[in-house]
């Protein structure tokens, strides 16, 4: 295309906007008129290697009604360097696509592994749920009731064994606690107060047990801890308990203890479980107006009245309290 032709060339859109004129002097044009022809690219670029000749094809269409040609083509390559850049870009794009395919393949593998693990977790959860439902269905069956009864019986037997180990001990309560006191001397003085003389050979040990208990939240006074006396013989223990029943109103007056005289009590030493049962039995006795609740040889008994038709009932467990007093719960 010459420079003169380039200066006069107009695009198809501009030509369409020009008003039509009857020009009979327009010469007949050939098919290849107004078509830019480019020579093929040189076979040797930069003098390095020879390549086969590459040509650029163009699509040309004519409009017979308008009398001009419309050329439709892709963006032409201005120089060999542009062609090399395009080839390089295409190759890089191909590598990126291949890398993307590999990443997608790896991602599919990971997703497949996760899916299999999730399926395995679902199976395990279903198995655990089935086992839980099975255990829940077993609750309340006769077998479980028998097992619970067996456990309760074993607990009662263990409590009886523990109580037998305390048969040589008695408990003094309400005795004022003083700093630097001698528990052995204090217990011997209290025993003499109720009419029993103890020798040193009769006493194994004497000590305060438990923690300091505040009487009330508003008062600053404290309840003295129980004083436990361990004896060598059970006969001496029974003698002390019998003397304490005779002298129920004994106080610390005349024992040489500091402070005003206070009333003290002598009782059998009970296990934690028996102390709880004895406390509950006394509560139910007051609620239902029963007359007697007592302990003998570490055993708890209740009796409604002194009549011949009322028999003593032994309390070993909470179920015995429910059965004897006819309550729904303790």
More reliable by pLDDT, 44 or 236: 236
Task: Count, in order, helices (H) and strands (E) of the chain.
Answer: 8, 13
Which range has highest mean pLDDT (34-48, 79-93, 292-306)? 292-306
**Closest-CA residue to 314 (of 329, 299, 296, 327):** 299
The three-state secondary structure class of 293 is strand
Q: Residue 38 — very low, low, confident or very high, per pLDDT cuts 50/70/90?
A: low
Distance, CA of 171 to CA of 160 (rounded, Å): 18
Integer angstrom CA distances of residue 54 from 38, 43, 57, 83, 87: 11, 8, 10, 11, 14
Does the pLDDT at position 32 exceed 70?
Answer: no
Strand 203-208 and strand 227-231: pairing?
Answer: antiparallel
Residue 33 has pLDDT above 60, yes or no: no
Closest CA to 272 of 308, 226, 232, 303: 226
CA atoms within 13 A on the CB side of 55: 5
Has residue 13 got a pLDDT over 80?
A: no
- pLDDT of 169 above 90: yes
Q: Model's pTM, two decimal places?
A: 0.55
Give me the pLDDT at residue 102, please.
Answer: 92
Average pLDDT over residues 136-151: 75
| Residue 257, pLDDT above cutoff 90 | no
Buried b (16+ CB within 10 A) or exposed e, 206-245: bebeeeeeeeeeeeeeeebbbbbbbbeeeebbebbbebbe
Rg of the chain over Cα atoms, rounded to whole angstroms, equals 56
> Which pLDDT value is given to residue 137?
82
Classify each residue of 135-169 as buried b or exposed e, where b means 16 or more C-beta atoms within 10 Å of its C-beta. eeeeeeeeeeeeeeeeeeeeeeeebeeebeebebb
Q: Do residues 251 and 233 touch, judged by C-beta distance below 8 A?
A: no
Q: How far is CA 200 from CA 63, 188, 195, 206, 303, in A?
A: 141, 9, 16, 11, 38
- Which pLDDT score, from 0 to 100, does residue 95 have? 92
Work out the pLDDT band at 193, boundaries 50, 70, 90.
Answer: very high
Tokens of 270: 């009970």
Q: Report, as an integer, the average pLDDT of 268-282.
A: 95
For the CA atoms of 212, 214, 219, 222, what is the dihedral angle to 10 degrees?
-30
For the chain, the average pLDDT equals: 81
Exposed / middle / buried, residue 123 (Cβ in 10 Å: 0-12, 13-18, 19+): exposed
- Alpha carbons within 13 A on the beta-carbon side of 92: 6
The pair phi, psi for residue 228, each rounded to 5°, is: -100, 130
**Choice among 52-61, 75-84, 145-154 with the minimum mean pLDDT:** 52-61
Q: Quick check: 175 pLDDT over 70?
A: yes
Place 281 in a pLDDT band, splitting at 50, 70 and 90: very high
pLDDT at 216: 58
- The pLDDT, as a whole number, for residue 11 is 80
Contact 268, 298 (CB under 8 A): yes
Both structure tokens of 14? 């501009």
pLDDT at 66 over 50: no
CB burial of 124-133 (b: ≥16 within 10 Å; e: otherwise) equals: eeeeeeeeee
Q: Phi and psi (nearest 5°) for 253? A: -65, 130
């Amino acid at each position: 295309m010459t420079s003169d032709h380039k200066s006069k060339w107009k695009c198809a859109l501009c030509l369409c906007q020009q008003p039509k004129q009857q020009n009979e002097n327009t010469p007949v044009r050939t098919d290849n008129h107004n078509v830019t022809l480019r020579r093929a690219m040189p076979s040797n670029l930069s003098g390095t290697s020879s390549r086969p000749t590459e040509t650029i094809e163009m699509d040309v269409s004519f409009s017979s009604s308008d009398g001009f040609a419309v050329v439709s083509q892709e963006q032409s390559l201005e120089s060999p360097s542009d062609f090399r850049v395009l080839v390089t870009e295409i190759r890089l794009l191909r590598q990126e696509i291949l890398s993307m395919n590999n990443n997608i393949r790896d991602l599919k593998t990971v997703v497949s592994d996760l899916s299999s693990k999730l399926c395995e977790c679902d199976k395990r959860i279903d198995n655990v749920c089935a086992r839980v439902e099975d255990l829940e269905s077993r609750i309340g069956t006769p077998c479980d009731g028998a097992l619970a009864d067996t456990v309760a019986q074993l607990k009662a037997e263990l409590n009886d064994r523990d109580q037998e180990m305390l048969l040589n001990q008695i408990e003094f309560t309400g005795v004022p606690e003083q700093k630097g006191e001698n528990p052995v001397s204090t217990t011997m003085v209290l025993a003499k107060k109720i009419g029993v003389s103890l020798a040193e050979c009769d006493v194994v040990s004497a000590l305060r047990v438990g923690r300091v208990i505040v009487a009330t939240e508003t008062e600053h006074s404290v309840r003295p801890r129980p004083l436990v006396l361990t004896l060598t013989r059970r006969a001496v223990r029974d003698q002390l308990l019998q003397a304490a029943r005779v002298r129920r109103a004994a106080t610390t007056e005349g024992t040489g203890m500091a402070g005003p005289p206070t009333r003290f009590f002598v009782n059998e030493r009970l296990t934690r479980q028996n102390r709880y049962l004895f406390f509950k039995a006394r509560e139910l006795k007051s609620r239902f107006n029963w007359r007697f609740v007592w302990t003998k040889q570490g055993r708890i008994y209740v009796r409604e009245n002194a009549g011949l038709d009322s028999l003593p009932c032994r309390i070993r467990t909470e179920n015995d309290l429910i059965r004897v007093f006819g309550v729904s719960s303790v």
